[in-house]
């Protein structure tokens, strides 16, 4: 049986890696095409023959071929380790994303808590990258990233608490099931839950979660850590070749991961009415991926719509608006849960 365990573990790890890489590549392609359409240009067109679908692959191959330049002044060991730490924090989220009742690499009792804990490891990696580069732009970028990630981790966690109160569990599978069995005033038929109940009850939480996700991902309008006009490329300035690719993939993989978590928490995850659990294992992934694609499109749309905030505006938004509103949301949710 022990061999069986290691074989299963190996297959699961390969699947997690595969889903992450494909998700990242597809969302990179999505960003290329959508940004092009939003700016009235064509975007990638030739690679792969049609729509330029092979452009992310071509870019990836190009990065792998490139020489990796490691400047003289960097702290070599930390510099080399940093991208792995960042990618590890992102990849570990994929372990608990439920694509179906049984289509999950590990259904943890602590699901959401695990996601929030493990994703904070990436912050350490970003700081490592910023410091070890031995470059003041990198250091500034790393510091900005850390300040931003700490500030927005709080609203992210607090926004999730409302959902956890309603569902009564931290397990991601449990939260999806709780949404499937939600009853409005105890009489409503189950099929009505196609409109995700938590999207309505936790609309405030959902808005806070999406805003905080954008900041956690350092995407416009919260991309100060890598603001080109001020910091060259922030903590990525000295990276090249394969290690830069790892950061790049990590960014998009993180976007897909947070979109998946948001879909699971607020949009009902893989669930569909009138479908048995066995069938849901096959249809569930399609449902979840559709929701992820919608949210990823939203993230990309925001990037090409909003200008960048200032650093103090960023901090004010987190501490003066998002956190108090999230706390109020928790109080209201808890009171309503007790009353009804």
Partner 1 sequence: MGDWLSEVANWWFAAVALAMGYAAYRVVTSANVVHAVLALVATLGGSAVLFLLLGAEFVVWTVVLVYIGAVIVLFLFGIMITRAPLGYEAELDHPPKTKALAAIVAGAMFLLIGWTLVDAFGTEEVTASVTTVGDIGLQLFGRFVLPFEVVSLVLLAALIGGIVLARQDPVDIEDQR
Q: Which residues of the chain form contacts with partner 1 (CB under 8 A)?
A: 73-75, 78, 108-110, 113-114, 116-118, 120-121, 123-124, 127-128, 130-132, 134, 139, 142-143, 146-147, 149-150, 153, 170
| CB-neighbour burial class of residue 258 (10 A; exposed 0-12, middle 13-18, buried 19+) | buried
Question: How near is the Cβ of 125 to partner 1 at its closest, in Å?
Answer: 10
> What are the E-state strand segments in 222-263?
none
Of 29 and 209, which has the nearer Cβ to partner 1?
209
Of 140 and 280, which has the nearer Cβ to partner 1?
140
Of 212 and 287, which has the nearer Cβ to partner 1?
212
Of 151 and 267, which has the nearer Cβ to partner 1?
151
310 three-class SS: coil
Of 139 and 255, which has the nearer Cβ to partner 1?
139
| 208 vs 217: CA distance, rounded Å | 14
Question: How near is the Cβ of 74 to partner 1 at its closest, in Å?
Answer: 8
Question: How near is the Cβ of 240 to partner 1 at its closest, in Å?
Answer: 19
| CB-neighbour burial class of residue 305 (10 A; exposed 0-12, middle 13-18, buried 19+) | exposed
Question: Could you tell me the CA-to-CA distances from 248 to 23, 60, 214, 218 in Å, in that order?
Answer: 13, 10, 16, 12
Question: How near is the Cβ of 122 to partner 1 at its closest, in Å?
Answer: 9
Question: How near is the Cβ of 153 to partner 1 at its closest, in Å?
Answer: 7
Can you count the helices (H) and strands (E) in the chain? 14, 0
DSSP states along 32-91: HHHHHHHTT---S-STTSSTTTTHHHHHHHHHHHSPPP--TTS-HHHHHHHHHHHHHHHH
196 three-class SS: coil
Question: How near is the Cβ of 170 to partner 1 at its closest, in Å?
Answer: 6
Whether 260 and 104 have beta carbons less than 8 Å apart is answered as no
Of 150 and 286, which has the nearer Cβ to partner 1?
150
């Amino acid at each position: 049986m022990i061999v069986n365990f290691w074989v299963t573990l190996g297959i699961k790890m390969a699947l997690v890696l595969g889903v992450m890489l494909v998700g990242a590549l597809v969302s990179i392609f999505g960003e290329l095409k959508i940004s092009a359409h939003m700016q009235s240009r064509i975007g990638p067109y030739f690679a792969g023959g049609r729509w330029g679908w092979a452009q992310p692959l071509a870019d990836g191959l190009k990065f792998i071929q490139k020489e990796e330049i490691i400047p003289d002044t960097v702290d070599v060991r930390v510099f080399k380790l940093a991208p792995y730490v960042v990618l590890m924090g992102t990849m570990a989220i994929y372990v608990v994303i439920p694509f179906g009742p049984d289509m999950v690499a590990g259904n943890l009792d602590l699901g959401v808590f695990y996601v929030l804990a493990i994703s904070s490891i990436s912050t350490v990696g970003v700081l490592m990258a910023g410091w070890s580069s031995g470059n003041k732009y990198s250091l500034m970028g790393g510091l900005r990233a850390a300040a931003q990630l700490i500030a927005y981790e709080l609203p992210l966690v607090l926004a999730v608490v409302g959902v956890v109160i309603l569902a009564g569990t931290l397990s991601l599978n449990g939260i999806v099931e709780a949404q499937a069995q939600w009853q409005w005033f105890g009489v409503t038929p189950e099929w009505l839950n196609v409109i995700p109940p938590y999207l309505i009850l936790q609309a405030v939480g959902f808005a806070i979660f999406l805003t905080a996700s954008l900041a956690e991902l350092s995407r416009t309008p919260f991309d100060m850590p890598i603001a080109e006009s001020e910091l060259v490329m922030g903590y990525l300035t000295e990276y090249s070749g394969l290690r830069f690719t790892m950061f790049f993939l990590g960014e998009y993989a993180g976007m897909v991961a947070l979109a998946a978590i948001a879909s699971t928490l607020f949009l009902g995850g893989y669930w569909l009415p009138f479908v048995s659990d066995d069938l849901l294992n096959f249809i569930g992934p399609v449902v979840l991926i559709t929701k992820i694609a919608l949210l990823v499109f939203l993230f990309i749309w925001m990037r090409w719509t909003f200008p960048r905030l200032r650093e103090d505006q960023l901090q004010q938004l987190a501490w003066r608006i998002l956190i108090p509103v999230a706390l109020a949301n928790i109080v209201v949710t808890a009171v309503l849960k007790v009353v009804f």
